[in-house]
């Protein structure tokens, strides 16, 4: 059974359908006329089954023109109708013997249909090999029968003689007939084995349709086996006809349902387009592509710009793509750049109305993904640059504070020391004016130093320079004019920027409480959990507006620069500010 894809003209379908119908009905009439001693249920079922298979073959030829598939269905049709046709033709043409012999091909061709239903046309190695052996065995039966069967010559019937017959007497045929029955049993056994394996190896669900299919095949196989055993027993029978027909119709029904389900369709393409617009993962997209092109084994490889190669939905390099013929590959490009490649297990012959949208969906999803990646990258950049700005401003603050200490403050202090030394050398009794002037200068110097200290304190959390965040927060709480309780846990391991930010949050909030809240107590709670949680809550009159004061706004900028989050809740019973700071800030 070759797998080369050949397109059977769509025009052939109506013709095939009509021909099958005519053949079936004619076969039935001929059979009826030729054997009036047979009951109707012995006459009609098989021609009808043959007609049904031929009709499905015609449908497949239109919807999914695949030679192997159409051929297998037609072969079932022909081989099932073969005994009836042979019967009808017996008196008119010598071909009746050959046609009758074709019946041996029924089992393998039904097996192929079952296997393709369960596993797709590729079917898997073991079922395919078993079926190949069955076909070979069946074909050899056909040849043997055609060469030795000549009932007219032996006087068994008044029918056309077989010009191909090599033997003159009935002896060889009589000796061969049981062996032919045994071979036929073997063919049936191989077919059952092949379908059983396909059923077992089926990757997807094994539900009611699959069980029905196997059941149908077993019924048909049983019917064939009964016929073969009857031959072996020397009493040929056609009683198994109705059972065979039922089994084969069940198989066909399941096959047809599977065809409709697995058929490439606009609905599947619509699903794919939707999934591409939303942000679907590559595995899901692959599944939808496979459904849209009607090949469950279809693989999708995405072009990876970094490595300059195709990778699969798990990011692994594409290894399969290279050795497939071009008929199995759909290349998707955008503005000359590769986007993706769909590689199928069988030739990808689908409706251009599906092929185009599939490519478009892959293009869309890739462009979406690239846009999202760019967005994410620029978000990271923004975050990093915000964080750098905060770090730079902290560094600048530290430098200014240090310059104040090393420069102005040092000068003022040494000036103070000199003033003091000078004042000790002035005799206050003799020169009270000078003594007063010196004392006044010293006082002013003291105020200058005091102001300088508070200036420096506002510039940078000086206590952080010397000690822990806890120390720094304690100093803040001590300076707060509103009584402040402080609970700090686990802040030692927090990065410097986070500590500084926590400090600024508490400092700004305590300053706000003192200025606006009319509170009687403030509670400051700093805890290290998954991040650092800083809460400042007062019992004041509320009314804190994040947009109103630049203080809270600046605080929010600072917190968000570290990818943290600042929440302000303010009501008549007080204000609570909660900052959540990630512990792994850049």
Partner 1 sequence: MSLARPRVLVADDAVLVREGVVQLLRAGGCEVLAALEDADGVRSALASTGDVDALVLDIRMPPTHTDEGLALLERLRADGVRTGVLLLSMYASPTLALRALSAGGATGYLLKDRVRDGGALVDAVRTVARGGTVVDPEVVALMLRASTGASRLDALSEREREVLGLMAEGRSNQGIAKELHLAVKTVDSHVEHLLTKMGLEASVDEHRRVLAVLEVLRALDA
Closest CB 447 distance from partner 1, rounded Å: 10
Residue number, 25 or 486, with CB nearest to partner 1: 486
Q: Which residues contact 195 (CB under 8 A, 6 or more apart)?
A: 111, 114, 115, 118, 127, 214, 217
**Strand, coil or helix: 441:** helix
Spatial distance between the Cα atoms of 468 and 434, rounded to a whole number of angstroms? 46
Spatial distance between the Cα atoms of 153 and 222, rounded to a whole number of angstroms? 33
Residue 568, beta-bridge partner list: 577
Parallel, antiparallel, or unpaired for β 565-571 and 574-582?
A: antiparallel
> Under the criterion CB under 8 A, does residue 164 sit at the interface with partner 1?
no
Residue number, 206 or 487, with CB nearest to partner 1: 487
> Under the criterion CB under 8 A, does residue 417 sit at the interface with partner 1?
yes
Q: For residue 123, what are its two tokens?
A: 């079917």
Task: Give residues 246-285 in contact with partner 1 (rule: CB under 8 A).
Answer: none
Residue window 440-479: x/- pattern of binding to partner 1, with contact defined by CB under 8 A: --x--xx--xx--x--xx----xx-xxx--xxx-xx-xxx
Residue window 213-242: x/- pattern of binding to partner 1, with contact defined by CB under 8 A: ------------------------------
Closest CB 454 distance from partner 1, rounded Å: 9
> Under the criterion CB under 8 A, does residue 418 sit at the interface with partner 1?
yes
Dihedral sign computed on CA atoms, order 342, 343, 349, 350: negative
Parallel, antiparallel, or unpaired for β 522-528 and 329-334?
A: unpaired
Closest CB 484 distance from partner 1, rounded Å: 8
Residue in 172, 209, 222, 416 binding partner 1, rule: CB under 8 A: 416
Q: For residue 519, what are its two tokens?
A: 């509170």
| Residue written as token pair 């967005």 | 375
Spatial distance between the Cα atoms of 237 and 253, rounded to a whole number of angstroms? 27
Q: Which residues contact 470 (CB under 8 A, 6 or more apart)?
A: 488, 491
Closest CB 554 distance from partner 1, rounded Å: 24
Number of residues lying near partner 1 (CB under 8 A): 38
Residue window 376-415: x/- pattern of binding to partner 1, with contact defined by CB under 8 A: --------------------------x--xx--xxx-xxx
Q: Which residues contact 85 (CB under 8 A, 6 or more apart)?
A: 23, 27, 30, 96, 99, 100
Q: Cα separations (Å) of 466 from 160, 196, 398, 463, 495?
A: 117, 80, 12, 5, 15
Residue in 203, 315, 353, 483 binding partner 1, rule: CB under 8 A: 483
Contact segment (CB under 8 A) with partner 1 among 8-16, 381-389, 420-428, 564-572 equals 420-428
Task: Give residues 512-571 in contact with partner 1 (rule: CB under 8 A).
Answer: none
Residue number, 167 or 415, with CB nearest to partner 1: 415
Residue number, 276 or 472, with CB nearest to partner 1: 472
Residue number, 372 or 410, with CB nearest to partner 1: 410
Closest CB 372 distance from partner 1, rounded Å: 45
Greatest pairwise CA separation for the chain in angstroms: 167
Closest CB 463 distance from partner 1, rounded Å: 5
Task: Give residues 290-309 in contact with partner 1 (rule: CB under 8 A).
Answer: none
Closest CB 373 distance from partner 1, rounded Å: 43
Spatial distance between the Cα atoms of 109 and 191, rounded to a whole number of angstroms? 9
Closest CB 371 distance from partner 1, rounded Å: 48
Spatial distance between the Cα atoms of 103 and 99, rounded to a whole number of angstroms? 8
**331 class by beta-carbon count within 10 Å (0-12 exposed, 13-18 middle, 19+ buried):** middle
Parallel, antiparallel, or unpaired for β 531-538 and 565-571?
A: unpaired
> Under the criterion CB under 8 A, does residue 427 sit at the interface with partner 1?
no
Closest CB 493 distance from partner 1, rounded Å: 18
Closest CB 423 distance from partner 1, rounded Å: 8
Closest CB 414 distance from partner 1, rounded Å: 4
Residue number, 186 or 445, with CB nearest to partner 1: 445
Residue number, 485 or 573, with CB nearest to partner 1: 485
> Under the criterion CB under 8 A, does residue 421 sit at the interface with partner 1?
yes
Spatial distance between the Cα atoms of 84 and 19, rounded to a whole number of angstroms? 16
Closest CB 523 distance from partner 1, rounded Å: 14
Residue number, 202 or 405, with CB nearest to partner 1: 405
**Strand, coil or helix: 123:** coil
Nearest to 556 by CA among 504, 500, 512: 504
Burial of 266-289, coded b for 16+ CB within 10 Å and e otherwise, reads eebbebbbebbeeebebeebbbbb
Residue number, 169 or 481, with CB nearest to partner 1: 481
**Strand, coil or helix: 341:** strand
Residue in 424, 427, 430, 433 binding partner 1, rule: CB under 8 A: 424
14 close to 48: Cβ distance less than 8 angstroms = no
Closest CB 518 distance from partner 1, rounded Å: 19
Residue number, 238 or 415, with CB nearest to partner 1: 415
Q: For residue 200, what are its two tokens?
A: 């077992």
258 torsion bin: left (phi>0), alpha (psi -120 to 50), beta (else):
alpha
Spatial distance between the Cα atoms of 150 and 240, rounded to a whole number of angstroms? 25
Residue number, 93 or 442, with CB nearest to partner 1: 442
Residue number, 343 or 463, with CB nearest to partner 1: 463
78 close to 102: Cβ distance less than 8 angstroms = yes
Closest CB 407 distance from partner 1, rounded Å: 10
Contact segment (CB under 8 A) with partner 1 among 179-187, 328-336, 439-447, 557-565 equals 439-447
Contact segment (CB under 8 A) with partner 1 among 28-36, 178-186, 222-230, 416-424 equals 416-424
DSSP characters for 125-157?
Answer: HHHHHHHHHHHHHHHHHHHHHHHH--HHHHTSS
**381 class by beta-carbon count within 10 Å (0-12 exposed, 13-18 middle, 19+ buried):** exposed
Closest CB 302 distance from partner 1, rounded Å: 52
Residue number, 202 or 402, with CB nearest to partner 1: 402
Binding site for partner 1 (CB under 8 A): 402, 405-406, 409-411, 413-421, 424, 442, 445-446, 449-450, 453, 456-457, 462-463, 465-467, 470-472, 474-475, 477-479, 483
């Amino acid at each position: 059974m070759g797998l080369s894809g050949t397109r059977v003209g769509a025009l052939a379908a109506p013709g095939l359908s009509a021909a099958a119908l005519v053949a079936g009905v004619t076969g039935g009439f001929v059979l009826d006329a030729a054997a009036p001693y047979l009951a109707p249920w012995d006459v009609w079922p098989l021609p009808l089954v043959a007609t049904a298979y031929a009709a499905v073959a015609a449908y497949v030829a239109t919807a999914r023109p695949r030679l192997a598939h159409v051929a297998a269905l037609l072969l079932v049709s022909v081989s099932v109708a073969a005994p009836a046709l042979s019967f009808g033709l017996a008196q008119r043409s010598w071909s009746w013997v050959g046609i009758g012999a074709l019946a041996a091909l029924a089992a393998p061709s039904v097996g192929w249909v079952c296997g393709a239903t369960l596993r797709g046309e590729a079917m898997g190695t073991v079922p395919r090999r078993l079926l190949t052996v069955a076909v070979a065995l069946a074909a050899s039966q056909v040849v043997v029968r055609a060469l030795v069967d000549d009932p007219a010559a032996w006087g068994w019937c008044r029918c056309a003689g077989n010009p191909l017959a090599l033997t003159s007497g009935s002896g060889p045929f009589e000796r061969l007939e049981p062996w032919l029955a045994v071979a036929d049993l073997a063919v049936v056994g191989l077919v059952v084995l092949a379908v059983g394996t396909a059923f077992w190896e089926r990757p997807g669900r094994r539900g009611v349709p699959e069980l029905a299919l196997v059941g149908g095949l077993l019924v048909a196989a049983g019917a064939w086996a009964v016929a073969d055993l009857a031959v072996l027993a020397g009493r040929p029978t056609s009683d198994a006809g109705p059972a065979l027909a039922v089994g084969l119709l069940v198989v066909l029904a399941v096959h047809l349902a599977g065809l409709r389900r697995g058929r490439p369709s606009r609905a599947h393409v619509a699903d794919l387009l939707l999934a591409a617009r939303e942000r679907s993962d590559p595995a899901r997209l692959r599944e939808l592509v496979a459904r849209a092109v009607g090949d469950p084994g279809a693989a999708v490889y995405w072009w990876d710009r970094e490595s300059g190669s195709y990778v699969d939905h798990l990011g692994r390099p594409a290894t399969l793509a290279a050795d497939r013929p071009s008929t199995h590959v759909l290349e998707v490009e955008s503005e000359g750049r590769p986007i993706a490649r769909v590689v199928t297990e069988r030739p990808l012959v689908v409706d251009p109305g599906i092929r185009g949208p599939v490519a478009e969906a892959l293009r869309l999803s890739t462009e979406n993904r690239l846009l999202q990646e760019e967005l994410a990258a620029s978000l990271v950049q923004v975050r990093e640059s915000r964080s750098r700005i905060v770090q730079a401003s902290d560094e600048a603050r530290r430098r200014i504070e240090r310059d104040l200490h090393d420069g102005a403050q040092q000068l003022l202090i040494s000036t103070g020391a000199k003033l003091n030394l000078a004042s000790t050398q002035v005799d206050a009794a003799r020169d009270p004016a000078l003594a007063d002037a010196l004392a006044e200068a010293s006082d002013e110097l003291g105020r200058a130093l005091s102001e300088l200290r508070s200036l420096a304190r506002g510039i940078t959390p000086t206590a952080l320079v010397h000690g822990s965040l806890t120390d720094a927060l304690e100093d803040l709480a001590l300076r707060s004019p509103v009584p402040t309780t402080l609970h700090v846990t686990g802040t030692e391991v927090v990065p410097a920027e986070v500590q500084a930010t926590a400090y600024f949050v508490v400092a700004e909030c305590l300053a706000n409480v003192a200025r606006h809240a009319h509170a009687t107590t403030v509670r400051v709670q700093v805890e290290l959990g998954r991040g650092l949680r800083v809460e400042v809550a007062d019992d004041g009159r509320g009314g804190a507006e994040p947009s109103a004061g630049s203080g809270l706004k600046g605080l929010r900028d600072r917190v968000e620069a570290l990818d943290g989050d600042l929440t302000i809740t303010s009501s008549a019973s007080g204000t609570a500010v909660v900052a959540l700071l990630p512990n792994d800030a850049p």
